[in-house]
Amino acid sequence: MAKVFLIGMMGVGKSHWCKKWANKLKTGHYDLDSLIEIYEEATIPEIFAEKGEAYFRKKETEVLKWFGEKKSFVLATGGGTACFGKNMQWMNTNGITIWLDEPLDILVGRLKLQKEHRPLIKNLSNEELRSFLENKLEERKPFYSQSQYRLFGDEISNKSFEMLINAGHSR
């Protein structure tokens, strides 16, 4: 049984790896943003536009804390989840935290194609996107660096995950 929280910047692949790794563990996989959308009956961009980021962050923390009761899961958190409401501390206390960290060029390439669905970058030009991501990563690093494990670039794989989970079970 493992409680795994995937953290990192938007576009790093948390949702992708969440599904793969939950299948390996034979447990449930969840995407925090999707759960918030179900709970709120609105998309993340709609929540940001209608109720603001502060409201979204409050709901994000509430939904995250639901996982305190679950015994086993892999959860893809939102890019900012770790940075608000002592969420990073809570995740470290309640499970295994893994920071997925991709090079900035990879993130820019992926996010250029996804801007419409991401309220924080929706109105940025491709040039502004790189600068925004650099600044956001610097702002979030103090939180992300509190994670128990960090996988960077090519280290993000099924093999690395299995080694981390095996190490996590011995904690």
**Inside any domain, residue 159:** yes
Q: What is the pLDDT of residue 118?
A: 82
Q: Is the model's pLDDT at 14 over the cut of 80?
A: yes
Q: What is the pLDDT of residue 100?
A: 96
For 84-129, how does the pLDDT look when each residue is reduced to its tens digit (9 = 90+)? 989 999 999 999 999 999 999 999 999 998 887 787 888 899 889 9
Q: What is the DSSP letter of 61?
A: H
- Residues 49, 151: Cα–Cα separation, whole Å: 33
**Inside any domain, residue 57:** yes
**Inside any domain, residue 169:** no
Q: What is the pLDDT of residue 155?
A: 86
Instruction: Give the chain's domain count.
Output: 1
- Residues 154, 150: Cα–Cα separation, whole Å: 12
Q: Is the model's pLDDT at 65 over the cut of 60?
A: yes
Q: What is the pLDDT of residue 167?
A: 64
**Where residue 171 falls among pLDDT bands split at 50, 70, 90?**
very low
Q: What is the pLDDT of residue 168?
A: 57
**Inside any domain, residue 128:** yes
Domain that holds residue 127: 3-163
Identify the three-state secondary structure at position 27.
coil
Q: What is the pLDDT of residue 170?
A: 41
44 Cα distance to chain centroid: 14
What does pLDDT average to over the chain? 91
**Inside any domain, residue 171:** no
**Inside any domain, residue 102:** yes
User: Where residue 71 sits, what CATH number does that domain have?
Assistant: 3.40.50.300
**Inside any domain, residue 98:** yes
- Residues 5, 117: Cα–Cα separation, whole Å: 22
- Please report, rounded to a whole number, the percentage of residues in the chain having pLDDT higher than 90: 75
**Inside any domain, residue 121:** yes
Tokens of 83: 């940075």
